[in-house]
Amino acid sequence: MNEYITLSLILFTIGAVGVLVRRNAIVVFMCIELMLNATNLAFVSFSRQHGNLDGQVAAFFVMVVAAAEVVVGLSIIVSIYRTRRSTSVDDASLLKS
């Protein structure tokens, strides 16, 4: 059981670090997916351990929300790329000035 939780922790940490240090929007996006799936793994692990379905239901919800988020997120990235010829998140800082 501990192994699943450890794996989930490792995946989440990789995802979090990736979001914070990478500039490429696609990679940042992938890291977010990684964090979501790490939590999914934790949900199903605890569900298994406690012997009820609450965690699994939550995991399904996360997957549905993630799928919707991907659609919106990717289309934003694509439209930014079209106008600015760049996928770097640091270039998208117009709100500051």
Partner 1 sequence: MFDLQWLLIAIPLASGALLLIWGKEADRFGHLIGTAASAASFLFGVVLFAALLGKDAEARSQSTSLFTWIDTGTFHVEMGFTFDQLSGLFVLLITGVGTLIHVYSIGYMEHDPRRRRFFAYLNIFVAAMVTLVLASDYLVLFLGWEGVGLASYLLIGFWQHKPSAAAAAKKAFVVNRVGDIGMALAIMLMFAQFGTSAIHAVNAAAPGAGDGVATALGLLLLLGACGKSAQVPLQSWLLDAMEGPTPVSALIHAATMVTAGVYLVVRSGGVFDSSEAARTAVMIVGLVTLLAGAWIGCAKDDIKKALAGSTMSQIGYMMLAAGLGPAGYPFAIFHLITHGFFKANMFLGAGSVMHGMNDDVDMRHYGALRKAMPITFATFALGYLAIIGFPGFSGFWSKDKIIETAFGENLWVGLGALLGAGVTAFYMTRLMMMTFFGDKRWKDDVHPHESPKVMTYPLIALGALSLLGGLLLVGDWIVEWLEPVVGEGEHHELAIPAIALTGIITLVAASGVALGYFTYGTKPIAAETPADSSVSVFTRAGRHELYGNQINDAVVVRPTTHLTRFLVWLDGKGIDGFVTGLADRLGETSQFLRKPQTGFVRSYALTMFGGVAILVLCLLAVTLA
Q: Where would I find the H helices in the chain? A: 2-21, 25-50, 54-84
In contact, 36 and 58? CB cutoff 8 Å = no
Q: Name which of 83 and 97 has its Cβ closer to partner 1.
A: 97
Three-state secondary-structure class, residue 22: coil
Binding site for partner 1 (CB under 8 A): 16, 19-21, 23, 89-90, 92-97
CB of 90 to partner 1, least distance (A): 6
Question: Taking the complex as a whole, how short is the minimal distance between the CB of residue 79 and partner 1, in angstroms?
Answer: 16
CB of residue 84 to partner 1, shortest distance in Å: 14
